[in-house]
Structure 1
Amino acid sequence: MEVINNILNFTINFSDKIQITIKGVLLLITIFFATSFFLKVIRKIVSRRLEEEDKDKFKAIFSFLKYFIYVLVIIIALDSLGVKIGVLLTSSAALLVGLGLGLQTLFQDIISGIFMLLDKTIHINDIIEVDGKVGKVFEINLRTTRAMTVDDKVIIMPNHIFLASSLYNWTQNGQLIIESVDVGVAYGSDVEKVKELLLETGIEHPKVINNKNLDVLFMDFGESALQFRLRFSTKDSFSLFKIKSDLRFLIDTKFRENNIQIPFPQRDVHLIQKKE
């Protein structure tokens, strides 16, 4: 027993003011594992009471709080074991300042990620547009958000850009979005026929919803053409560029079949010959 006590009371000297015994090390390890166990229990209890859509948000926030609690528990445990934390922090002040400056962007991303999860700025499967890039969100973490573009490329965005830049959430108000395709026809065309053909184009497309949003607007008398706009709604916002392309192909086909011209800009040049 005396041998065991001697081993447990063996002191490790890191410096004149920072000392810890083997007993203290074992106690510190025990406290660490006990904290880990209680955190897992708390996580399971809270997760059971949350709705399915909130579980991922809680998981992300909890992972950040978990490391914060670990650090806090270790500091308290070391202080109770007689380790002078103030001396330790003072001796490593320069290192902490350097780490703080280096991790500034990381902390910005983490705080932004927490705000995004709490105020429900974006959700999984939302279609977002940031800095001209459009993608479908498939993962939200504390530091980054990942989205898949229409050409199957993954955009990895640090979360702080969502606070620093304008974010367009195409599906914030629901899955149904309203979009449009513009087209010009030659002067002298039958405008009622143009409207009819454009409406037929929208009705025939399988991903365009035939509702009150399907409409044709006579936008303007342009310099070289009569300007029309086909407004439509769809639930497949991620395929929007493909839908618009399909509609333009259909419009071109129908206009050719009905002898309606899509003009190009023209200019009349008058030459005046001076008399000698």
Structure 2
Amino acid sequence: MDPVSVAVTVGTVVFLTIAIIVLYKATKIATEIIKERVGKNKPSLASILILLLKISTSVAIIVMVYSVFKTLYPDIALTITNFAVAAGILGIIFGLAAQSSLGNAIAGMILVFSQAVKVGDMVEYDGEVAAVEDIKLTHTILKLRDGRKIAIPNSNMLNSNIVNYSMVDELVAATVIVGISYESNPDNAIKAMIEAAREHPKVLDKPPPQVIITGFGDFSINLKLLAWINDPWIKPIIESDLTWAIYEKFKKYNVEIPYPRRVIIMKGEKQVEAQKPLLTSMGEKTVEEVG
């Protein structure tokens, strides 16, 4: 090898070696900056950025190391190239097997960068209200009201219809559905339900609680109370409180929850008239028989 070629080879090796060291140091510094500036407010975004940075750095270093070997030992580099081709084929095979994990990882990045769901958000997923505790690369951890924690694959989070109460505000309507008899005064029933809602300390004045008629049943006029609260987490508790309060108010205003009367005719027996209470939000009662 002539002196010029040797000088070029040495220069290339030195340059690549310095580049590897600088890249490694720069990655460490960038990691600390991300932890300091992003990690405090957005830990999920910080962890994903750091992971992407490390992956990119690792790929770049591998390419540089290969370039050094190729410069110093062309024959060995050829062998490495053949090995890399075989490794690439194996990588494709393993990649197909792990495409679910890859899909979850991509979905996790989309969730973080789009800010559709953030750590600390209050969401409703699959009928359950939960707090987003953490968003990892492949899955999201939700904390339910009863303290349980569940891990949801990020692809499911991305493709599901999720209600995010934290995106605009956290206002949510606590609802109670109840039926009253046709003999009862609907105005009194509505007044009782509104009073029950207004007297609850957690129910907001604005928007004001309201009652709507949802329909006419065989034995009842069906009413629905909408009472607004600013904490979705306690919605079931508020609904329970309001249900009991409405029950007490109905007694005060002489509003009846109907007991449908049905006639049952049994062959060879006398006629039996049975009373079966209407199933409403007030609960289910036992069947009474009247001879």
Percent pairwise identity:
25
Matched, 1:235 2:243: no
SS at 2:62's partner residue? helix
Which residue identity does 1:236 align to in structure 2?
Answer: D
Deviation at 1:158, TM superposition (A): 1.0
Per the alignment, do residues 236 and 111 of structure 1 end up closer, same or farther by CA in structure 2, a change over 3 Å counting? same
Deviations 1:67-88 (A, max 9, x none): 3213312321222222455322
Instruction: Map 1:9-28; keep pairs closer than 5 Å.
Output: none
Q: For 1:51 and 1:182, how far apart are their aligned partners in 2?
A: 45
Aligned runs of 1:98-247 on 2, under 5 Å? 98-247=93-242
CA 1:144 to 1:254, structure 2 compared with 1: closer, same or farther past 3 Å?
same
* Cα distance change on mapping 1:91 and 1:51 into 2, 3 Å: closer
- Let me know the Cα RMSD of the aligned residues: 2.9
Q: 1:248, CA displacement in angstroms?
A: 0.8
More off after superposition, 159-168 vs 199-208: 159-168
Q: Which moved more, 1:175-184 or 1:237-246?
A: 175-184
Equivalent positions of 1:52-67 (< 5 A) are 53=41, 55-67=42-54
Distance 2:223 2:27 in 1: 61
SS at match of 1:178: strand
SS at match of 1:92: helix
Write the distance in 2 (CA, Å) between the matches of 1:91 and 1:223. Answer: 74
The match for 2:254 among 259, 262, 269 is 259
Distance 2:64 2:198 in 1: 70
Residues 47/96 of structure 1: CA separation in 2 closer, same or farther (3 Å cut): closer
Shift, 1:132, TM fit: 3.0
Asked whether the 8 Å contact 1:135–1:155 carries over to 2, the reply is no
Gaps of 5+ in 2: 1-12, 71-76, 267-291
Offset at residue 263 of structure 1 (A): 1.9
**Closer, same or farther in 2 for the Cα pair 1:110/1:253, shift >3 Å?**
same
Name which of structure 1's ranges 244-253 and 258-267 shifts more when overlaid on structure 2.
258-267
* Secondary structure of the corresponding residue to residue 213 of structure 2: strand
* Cα distance, 1:34 vs structure 2: 4.5
Is the contact made by 1:178 and 1:231 (CA closer than 8 Å) also made in structure 2? yes
Q: Aligned-pair distance for 1:148?
A: 0.9
Q: 2:29 aligns with which of 11, 31, 41?
A: 41
**Number of equivalences:** 246
CA distance in 2 between counterparts of 1:169 and 1:266 reads 44
Aligned CA distance change for structure 1 residues 163 and 108 (closer, same or farther; 3 Å) = same
TM-score (norm. length: structure 1): 0.77
Q: CA deviation at 1:36?
A: 3.9
57, 63, 69: which one aligns with 1:70: 57
Deviations 1:121-171 (A, max 9, x none): 112222222333331111112211111111111011110112332222233
Q: Which residue type is aligned with residue 38 of structure 1?
A: A
Q: Which moved more, 1:133-142 or 1:75-84?
A: 75-84
Deviation digits for residues 220-250 of structure 1 (CA, Å, limit 9, x no counterpart): 2221111111111111101111111111111
Partners of 1:131 and 1:144 in 2: how far apart?
16
3-state SS in 2 of match to 1:39: helix
Distance 1:135 1:246, change over 3 A: same
Give the unaligned 5+ runs of structure 1. 1-23, 272-276
Which whole-Å CA distance do the structure 2 matches of 1:119 and 1:101 have between them? 27
